[in-house]
Amino acid sequence: MKLKPNIATSEAGFIFNPATGDSFAANPLAADILARAKAGLDAAAIKADILTRYDVAPGQLEKDWDDLLAQLRDFNLLDGSGKWEAGSEEQAMGKAK
Amino acid sequence: MKQPYERPTLRKLTAGALHKFGPRAGAAPTTALDGVPVAELVARFGSPLFVLSERQLRRSYQAAVRAFGTRYPAVQLAWSYKTNYLNAVCRTFHQEGAWAEVVSGMELEKALLNGVPGPHILFNGPGKRRAELERACEVDAVIHLDNADELHLLLDVAVGRATRPRVALRVNLDAGIYPQWDRFGFNLENGEAWQALSRVVASGQLALVGLHCHIGTYVLQPKAYGTAATKLAAIALRCQRELHTAVQYLDLGGGFPSTNTLKGAYLPAADTVPPLDEYAETITNVLLGAGFPADELPLLVLEAGRALVDDAGSLIGSVLANKRLADGRRATILDFGVNLLFTSFWYDHHISPTREFSDHTEPTVLYGPLCMNIDQLRDSIALPLLAPGDTVVVHKVGAYNMSQWQQFINLRPNVVMVDEAGAVHLIRAAETLEYLQQLERVPAHLAGPRLSS
Ligand SMILES: Cc1ncc(COP(=O)(O)O)c(C=O)c1O
């Protein structure tokens, strides 16, 4: 997952897109995920870490992960046209290449 | 120990608050109903589940009696069966002293089986059949006449009876509200009502005991009832003067609102709906000042439906799935839809989660489980991040849902009542496929196995 480079995130979950002026509130887990993604961790590592720390089944996390990506895409916060981490989410959703 | 999980989500912040009212109120959890944990109710009776509070039924009833009874010497409530005719509900109100207001032969029989004496049953409705009128005469229920054809049918039924059938005239009138309900009863302003009254009295075959009007439902203007009371009182006095008939009761019908918020209303109903006391004040002031001699004040009858029962009903349901719509909106599918919550066509029902969540909410469309487009419970509600399996409580669903529910795609669920001591009673068991098919018959030529060509 790659956020647009100019997107600002705060620890409290405030997200700002200076290009559009849009701002967003992320809940704690979304803020945590975005911070790790910005720090360069890949999706697999972030998910593995969530599974060790949170009380959630892997299947549920996968589903919610896809939903988070859908939201990021919908809000225009992702870099490129969705070619992040080839072979991961986008492909699984049948959209990539 | 692992941390509790809540799905990751983003919410776009908008300058003008889209959901100005309500969202925070929606998020406070309802963990128990009348002291019984929601989780326990679901474990015992499943989901979805209707839960009625006997305490609230009695409270609402007593509040209505108090509102009118402290202002007027003779008041009688008649429980409007169609609002909720589960026997446990009806019997609670009858124990409190309610008569019955019915609108069909089926409801009439139900009231009799619930122990209501015939003379305490008021038979309304625009479509009474001959056999139903005969039955009403037999048990001495009061027939509220709706139209001239019905009057003539009843005159026919009355022939040869030992006692004269007791009747009231249903009157429709301009009470200053829109739309005017003119389809039920005889119109006052065009003289039809007076003509019918004259005919009833002149026939000598019917005993005129009351005048009735029901001006609408969820009527927000107490003044409209003042107008209706003024007009009914005037005809009652005219009956006395010109027809030498003393009308025993004036029935002002129902229509008093509950504190559910109408769809599209800008403010929550709790802030805008006048209290019942205002309606009582208006009506009783009119009647006390109408010119009846102090010892001949007519009995004031009220047929409040939703105002007595809405608050006492809750619906517990569960999240089946979450999804995202093409336009990015969040959608949640619940295990009940408009099949059980008919009133979601009218109301933006207040819906609560049943456990603590973080402060994060997401605007969500709430759908039921039916595969049809109209099965939408809320088009936008701010709910916490519910996960499949989470339960919710819909508040104030006691009126009309448990009589207008549909057996469509899903069977109807259990209904329980929590008594005043906190004990839970099953008052209507969940339907089964066997129950559903009990009345079906399969023609013999369709009974065998499929024919091969
Ligand atoms: C004749 C009559 N009485 C009473 C009622 C109860 O109305 P509400 O639930 O609005 O009080 C109705 C409902 O339509 C009615 O038609």
Mean pLDDT, residues B200-208: 97
Does the beta carbon of B356 lie under 8 angstroms from any beta carbon of chain A?
no
Whether residue A3 is contained in a domain is answered as: no
Closest partner residue to B12 (CB to CB) among A30, A53, A75 is A75
Contact B306 CB / ligand 1 (< 6 Å): yes
pLDDT given for residue A93 in this prediction: 41
pLDDT, tens only, B46-63: 999 999 999 999 999 999
Pairing of strands B361-367, B330-334: parallel
- Is A28 among the domain residues? yes
Interval between CA B215 and ligand 1 midpoint (Å): 9
Residue B324 and residue A29: Cβ atoms within 8 Å? no
Contact A71 B358 (CB under 8 A): no
In a domain, A45, yes or no: yes
Beta strand extents in B106-165 (DSSP E only): 121-123, 142-145
A25 and B360 in contact by Cβ < 8 A? yes
The answer to whether residue B37 scores a pLDDT higher than 80 is yes
- What ipTM was estimated for this complex? 0.86
**CA B79, chain centre distance (Å):** 10
Output the pLDDT for position B18.
Answer: 46
**At residue B83, does pLDDT exceed 90?**
yes
Average pLDDT over residues B74-94: 98
In this prediction, residue B23 carries a pLDDT of: 44
CA distance A30 to B358: 13
CA-to-CA separations, B84 to B33, B87, B340, in angstroms, rounded:
19, 9, 13
Distance of CA B270 to the CA centre of its chain: 18
Region B267-278: mean pLDDT is 90
Q: State how beta strands B186-187 and B166-172 pair.
A: parallel
Is residue A69 situated within a structural domain? yes
Residue B335 contacts residue B302 (beta carbons within 8 Å): no
Q: Which of B2, B6, B7 to mutate to test the interface with A (most CBs of A within 10 A)?
A: B7
pLDDT at B26 over 50: no
Q: How many Cβ contacts (< 8 angstroms) between chains A and B?
A: 73
According to the model, what pLDDT value does residue A18 have? 85
Query: Could you tell me if residue A97 is inside a domain?
Result: no
The whole-number pLDDT of residue A86 equals: 37
B137 CA from centroid of ligand 1 (Å): 23
Interfacial residues of A (vs B; Cβ cutoff 8 Å): 15, 22-30, 32-33, 52-56, 60, 64-65, 67-68, 70-72, 74-75
Q: What is the pLDDT of residues B390-418, one digit of tens each?
A: 999 999 999 999 999 999 999 999 999 99
Nearest CA in chain A to B324: A67
Q: Is B217 in the pocket of ligand 1 (CB under 6 A)?
A: yes
Dist. CA B255–CA B276, nearest whole Å: 11
Does the beta carbon of B24 lie under 8 angstroms from any beta carbon of chain A?
no
Per-residue pLDDT at A7: 86
* Rounded Cα distance, B147 and B271, in Å: 39
Residue B97, phi-psi category: left (phi > 0), alpha (psi -120 to 50), beta (remainder): left
Neighbours of B51 (CB within 10 A): 24
- Return the minimum-mean-pLDDT range out of B120-134, B264-278, B329-343, B373-387: B264-278
Does residue A1 sit within a domain?
A: no
Mean pLDDT of chain B: 94
Q: What's the DSSP call for residue B241? A: I
Complete domains list, chain B, with CATH: 32-51+311-433 (2.40.37.10), 54-308 (3.20.20.10)
Least confident interval from A75-84, B89-98, B241-250: A75-84
Residue A49: list chain B partners with CB under 8 A: none
Residues of chain A with pLDDT under 70: 80-97
Q: Does B66 touch chain A (CB under 8 A)?
A: no
- Helix extents (H) in B70-210: 87-96, 105-113, 130-139, 148-158, 192-203
Ligand 1 centroid to Cα of residue B71, in Å, is 22
pLDDT of residue A88: 45
Using pLDDT thresholds of 50, 70 and 90, give the confidence band for residue B433. Answer: very high
Query: For residue B15, what pLDDT band results from cuts at 50, 70 and 90?
Result: low
Q: Which residues of A touch B2 (CB under 8 A)?
A: 52-55
**Chain-chain contact of A30 with B385 (C-beta, under 8 angstroms):** no
Structure tokens at B383: 């709910």
CB of B303 shorter than 6 A to ligand 1: yes
- For residue B395, give the amino acid letter: H
pLDDT at B14: 74
Q: How far apart are CA B31 and CA B315, in angstroms?
A: 13
Domain that holds residue A68: 8-92
Whether the CB of B255 sits within 6 Å of ligand 1: yes
- The Å distance, Cα B271 to ligand 1 centre, comes to 23
| Nearest CA-CA partner of B302 in B111, B74, B137 | B74
Spatial separation of the C-alpha atoms in residues B311 and B328, rounded to whole Å: 35
Domain count, chain A: 1
Are B251 and B225 in contact by the 8 Å Cβ rule? The answer is no
pLDDT in tens, B319-360: 999 999 998 889 999 999 999 999 999 999 999 999 998 888
Joined tokens for residue B317: 């349901």
Give me the half-sphere count of Cα atoms (radius 13 Å) on the Cβ side of residue B162: 3
Task: Using DSSP, state whether B100 is helix, strand or coil.
Answer: strand
Name A10's Cβ contacts closer than 8 Å, sequence gap at least 6: A31
With 0-12 / 13-18 / 19 or more C-beta atoms within 10 angstroms meaning exposed / middle / buried, residue B332 is: buried
State which of B60, B77, B83 you would mutate to test the pocket of ligand 1, scoring each by most atoms of that ligand within 8 A of its C-beta. Answer: B83
Interval B179-199: pLDDT, tens = 888 899 999 999 999 999 999
Identity (one letter) of the amino acid at A91?
Q
Does residue A2 form part of some domain?
A: no
